[in-house]
Structure formats: C-alpha cells, structure tokens
C-alpha cells in the first residue's frame, strides 16, 4: 500500500491523508455507491472509486472528506475531494468536481465511512504461550489472549474478544462477546456485557474507599458488590471504577468514560452518559440517562443527577440536579447565574480600577 506523503515538520513527515499505513490497515478502494450507503446518505450516481479519507484542505479526487462545522465552509468551497459528506443546506457550496453525499448528520456519517475504510482489526484466535490460564477458566476458542496475560480460575470470556498483553482477568469475572480489553487492564469482581471496550491501564473492580472511623483509627468495611459494565460501554485509559460496597456499581449501556475518570463505589450511571477526563464521582451518586459531565468536574456522594443534565468543566456538584439542568462553577449553579456573577465581578473590578 503506498504511503501518502505530506509536509515535513522537524524530522517527522506529516501525512495529508488520514490513517498512516504504518499504523492502520486500510480497506478499499470502495465505489461511491457503497460509501454513500454506508454513510446513510444520498449522492448522484457516478463511476468513482474512493481510496481513503482526508481533511477538506488536503483531500484529492480519490478521497472522501466531510463538513460538520459551518465555520469551515470556506474550506468546502475550495476542496478538491472526490466526495464530501455534507448537510443538504451546504450542497450549493460543494465544488462541481466534487460529489456531495447528503446527510442530515455529517459527523455520524463520517464515523461510519471511517469505519468502512479502517475497520477494527478482528481478533486472532488463540492464547499466547506466555499467558497464564488457571484451571477452570473458560475462554471461547474465537478469542485472542495476548502475551503475559493472567486469567484466573472461574473467569469466563465470550466469543470474539481480544485480551491485550499483560491484562489480568480476576476470578469469576465474566466478559461478553466482542469485547476489547486493553494492555495492563485489571478486572476483578466485574461482569461485562457485549462490545465493551476497556482501554489500557484501567482498573475495574478494586475495593472502594470505604471505612469506619473509630477511636483507634480506621476500620475497613468489606466491599461486597460488583462492577457491572453494560453493553457498548467504553472505559478510558487509566480510569478506575470501584466495586460496590452494599450494592453494585453500574455503568449503563452505551456510556463513555474518558481517560483518568474515577467512579466511586455504588455509583450508578444510566444509559449513554458521557464523562470527560479527570472527573471524580463520589460513592452512591446516581446519574440518570444521557447525563454529560465536563472535564475535571466533581460530584459529592449520594446525589441524584437528573436525566439529560449537563455539568460543565471543573464544576463542583454538591446537591441533586433536576432533569435537564445545565450547571457550571463550584459550587455548581445554573449557567445563567454563573455568567451573571462573572459579569458582575468584572463590572466591580472595572469600577475599582
């Protein structure tokens, strides 16, 4: 496969076409009709083979690009892409030599087309000779187990999984079909659904931060719950999810945790929640469905965050939030109140100067 060269910066060649052949396996070329159907879009019929992906500014006649943010419409005007994924409102700005693939959701279409050209590599069935597999562990023959993995007795791993190098799968852990467990992950006291992706270095199922204070010091409380990762959950690199103490810690189906997220014991996330990097959620807090949490935000324990709430970056949430709440600041307050206070402070500071 040829390497697409781009600009030289320092000693590194910057490629103008996405997906370096050194690191990513590309399929294709694919006919325009297949790309359009994969995008769930509509395009004029034309005999065109598309070989890859590229940004608007760099794309050539055999590449696909997209426009989702209208701020970059000027780049659309000048693109040389063979095809571009665009909202119907922007079709008039697509150059005549470029095929417009019309879709109401260009970014989602881009995700689908990118997966067409760069599908996730399938597992290579088998257990590496250096892996340590305890008696009583059950591993589907279609699963790949990488070098230096440890899989303890009673663990069950379903079909089509990939277990990365140096991962540790604890006793009794169950992993559903088509899961990906990254390098150096540790799983204990956990039940994973299907298509779960745990990124490298994550720690799942360890004891939560639970203890009683006595006159003689601290007395650890047994943590007797589990961690449940429902279908299609992703857990970012070096994130930690404590197992429950008196009930399970649950991450709802389709939820995405970024890198370096801390989830305390007994926490429950609903469906399709998004938790951005360096967020900390204290024990027994409940996030209902479709909650979004910005980077470095923190939540006290035993709270209920209503469905569809949005918590801004670095917010400190110390009380329950109603469904659909949008908050910023520490302590967290409504966005409108937060910015009104900022404006007032600026006005006072200006007056003093």
Tokens of 78: 């000048």
Q: What is the dihedral of CA 18, 22, 24, 25, to 10 degrees?
A: 110
CB atoms within 10 A of CB 45: 9
The total of other beta-carbon atoms located within 10 Å of residue 222's CB is: 9
Structure tokens at 128: 């590496």
Choosing from 30, 128, 184, 265, the catalytic residue is 265
At 241, give phi and psi (nearest 5°): -130, 110
Question: SS3 for 76?
Answer: helix
CA–chain centroid gap for 93, Å, is 33
Q: Report cis status (omega within 30 of 0) of the bond before 135.
A: no
30 is catalytic: no
Strands (E), 252-332: 256-257, 262-263, 268-269, 274-275, 280-281, 286-287, 292-293, 298-299, 304-305, 310-311, 316-317, 326-328
Pairing relation of β-strands 227-229 and 162-163?
unpaired
Residues annotated catalytic, as ranges? 265
């Amino acid at each position: 496969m040829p390497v697409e060269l781009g600009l030289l910066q320092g000693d590194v060649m910057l490629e103008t076409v996405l997906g370096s052949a050194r690191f990513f396996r590309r399929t294709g070329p694919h006919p325009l009709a297949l790309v359009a159907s994969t995008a769930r879009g509509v395009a004029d019929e034309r005999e065109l083979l598309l070989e890859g992906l590229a940004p608007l500014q760099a794309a050539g006649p055999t590449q696909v690009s997209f426009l989702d943010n209208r701020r970059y419409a000027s780049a659309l005007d000048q693109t040389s892409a063979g095809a571009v994924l665009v909202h119907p409102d922007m079709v008039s700005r697509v150059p005549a030599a470029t095929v417009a693939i019309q879709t109401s959701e260009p970014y989602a279409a881009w995700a689908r087309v990118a997966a067409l050209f760069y599908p996730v590599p399938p597992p290579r069935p088998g257990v590496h000779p250096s892996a340590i597999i305890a008696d009583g562990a059950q591993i589907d023959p279609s699963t790949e187990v990488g070098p230096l993995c440890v899989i303890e007795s009673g663990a069950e791993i379903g079909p089509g999984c990939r277990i990365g190098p140096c991962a540790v799968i604890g006793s009794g852990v169950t992993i559903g079909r088509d899961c990906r467990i990254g390098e150096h992950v540790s799983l204990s006291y956990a039940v994973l659904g299907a298509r779960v992706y745990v990124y490298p270095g994550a720690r799942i199922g360890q004891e939560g931060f639970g203890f009683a204070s006595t006159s003689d010091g601290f007395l650890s409380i047994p943590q007797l719950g589990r961690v449940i990762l429902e279908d299609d959950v992703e857990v970012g690199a070096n994130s930690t999810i404590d197992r429950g103490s008196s009930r399970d810690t649950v991450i709802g189906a389709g939820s995405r945790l970024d890198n370096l997220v801390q989830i305390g014991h007994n926490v429950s996330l609903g469906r399709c929640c998004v938790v951005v990097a360096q967020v900390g959620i204290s024990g027994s807090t409940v996030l209902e469905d479709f909650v979004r949490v910005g980077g470095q935000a923190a939540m006290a324990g035993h709270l209920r965050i209503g469905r569809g709430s949005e918590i801004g970056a670095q917010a400190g949430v110390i009380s329950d939030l109603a469904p659909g709440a949008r908050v910023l600041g520490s302590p967290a307050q409504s966005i409108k109140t937060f910015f009104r206070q900022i404006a007032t402070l600026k006005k006072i500071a200006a007056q003093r100067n």
